[in-house]
A and B are shown apart, each in its own frame.
Chain A
Amino acid sequence: MPHILAEALTIEFPLYHMGARSLKKRILAKSPIRLRQDDSNRVVVSALRDLSFRIDRGERVALVGRNGAGKTTLLRTLAGVYEPVKGRLEIEGQIGSLIDPSAGMDMESTGRENIVLRGLFRGLSEAESEAMADSVGVFSGLGEFLDVPVRTYSAGMQVRLSFAMATMMEPEVLLMDEWFLAGDADFMAKARERLARLVTGADILVLATHDMAVVREWCTRAIRLESGRIVADGPVEEVLEAA
């Protein structure tokens, strides 16, 4: 059964390229809260500290909190980008992540080539990726621009292409950052519909966002992060009111 289980999950970013020792001392003196020295005398940023939670099938979880609270780091950790420094993370279910839409996009390639490339990134065969290209092309509404280098696209067109590529999946665990709110109004109507289907199709949704309207509309549970710790976890209204 799809679920996410985190026990005392901790992520620390070491600051390796930090020149002089005096600078190190000054930084440490200034912010004793999230910067500290680890056992081997390195300065590390505690991005996530001691997170424990369990998300079960059917839950739609919003990660809320200020910039730098650790929302995106938690999403990336769930996606498998970062290995936990301490603690344990167990995820059952196929993961789909909509974290950075443009990751792995090649600006010099055409839209169609990028779609095939994205398919390869996801581990599809070339034939499967080619098949994906047509449906993504239709959905993104790029028309003839599909065969033009992405470099020449407007920002809105890039978002449309990214969105169409990213949502061509049916994951059990869906990890999403709030970038998808960009895009022109006409496309957003279409996008909403697709997102709604993706979200309802997924067994678990984890969404990082600042937009409380989105949280209220889509989520059943909210986790509030503050400087890398969980400060509130519960039904949406409870968590949002407490702040």
Chain B
Amino acid sequence: MLDATLPRKASPPVQLRDAARPRRRAVAMEDLATGLRRWRLPAALARLDIRNRYRGSVLGPFWLTLSTAVMVVGLGFLYSSLFKLTLADYLPFIAVSLIVWTLISQTVTDACTSLTSAEGIIRQLPLPFTVHALRCVFRNALITAHSLPLVFLVFLATGTLPGPEVVLLIPGLALIAVNAFFVALFLGMLCARFRDIAPIVSSVMQLAFFMSPVIWKPELLGERAVWLPLNPFYALMETVRGPLVEGGVPGIVWLAAVLYTLLIGTAALAFFVRFRGRIAFWV
């Protein structure tokens, strides 16, 4: 019997939607819980996104690795001589910097379309919106994973190896993942409602690239470097870059990064609780 493989599921038997008593918080929390529990769906969708983007190309997603490699080598030679640093000193820094920055900036830009790109699904299938935000996170994580071999290559070539503080990489990446999720939810909603946000975001990210210590080392700021934790991009980037190439991260940076995460998390959740029911009308 075919249907024997598909037992009736014990999903909530009564669904109640009352415009007078919307129970917004409960509905939003249920959305998050269901979406996270069903992480396999966004993971599968993210894999498809990558595969479809590079369908028929010989190198496929490794084009990303290649273009990052070219950037790293090019910028490495140029800026190490501009900043009067040795290549062995600068190359690991710029490699990690560029990869982490690309992760952050791509995620933020991609977050703007996390919901609008899923319009077809949102209007047809009642799925948790969390699924679409997670899809965006997984997609960018996968893209970045393709550049990771570069870091090892650069470490091998320059003979620098991170110390035991490298374990702090894990909480650093976790922080970025949590941020990515909230940003995907928040910007996804905001950009679905206000279509002018996406271009604003992309120009802000471009400015942020030059204003944040991606190419230049934070030390170059001299005394003014103490103000750097005010830049949320710096704080988040540093939690990953620090353990890899700078022998650890000052406590204040961790504090700032956690604080920014809490901020964006609160904003995203508040917005999600309030406007979740409107998303289907916005996309």
Contact = CB atoms under 8 A, between A and B. Distances in A.
Interface of A: 10, 13-14, 16-17, 76, 79-95, 97, 99-100, 103-104, 106, 108-109, 116-117, 120-121, 123-126, 128, 131-132, 135, 139, 168-170, 172
Given A88-B18, A92-B14, A120-B38, A80 B124 contact: no
B73 interface: no
Interface in B202-252: none
Contacts of A88: 16-20
Contacts of A92: 13-15
Contact of B6 (A82, A168, A172): A168
B193 interface: yes
Nearest to B5: A131
Nearest to B16: A90
A90 B14 contact: yes
Interface string B42-70: 00110010011001000000000000000
Interface of B: 2-3, 5-6, 8-9, 11, 13-20, 22, 38, 40-41, 44-45, 48, 51-52, 55, 120-127, 193, 195, 277-278, 280-282
Contacts of A124: 6
A83 B280 contact: yes
Contacts of A128: 5-6
B19 A85 contact: yes
Which residue of A79, A83, A99, A124 has the most chain B CB atoms within 10 A of its CB atom? Answer: A83
Contacts of B120: 103-104
A81 B123 contact: yes
Contact of A82 (B3, B5, B18, B281): B281
A14 B5 contact: no
Nearest to A10: B19
Contacts of B5: 128, 131-132, 135
10 contacts: A76-B123, A79-B126, A88-B17, A89-B18, A95-B15, A104-B125, A121-B125, A132-B5, A132-B6, A169-B6
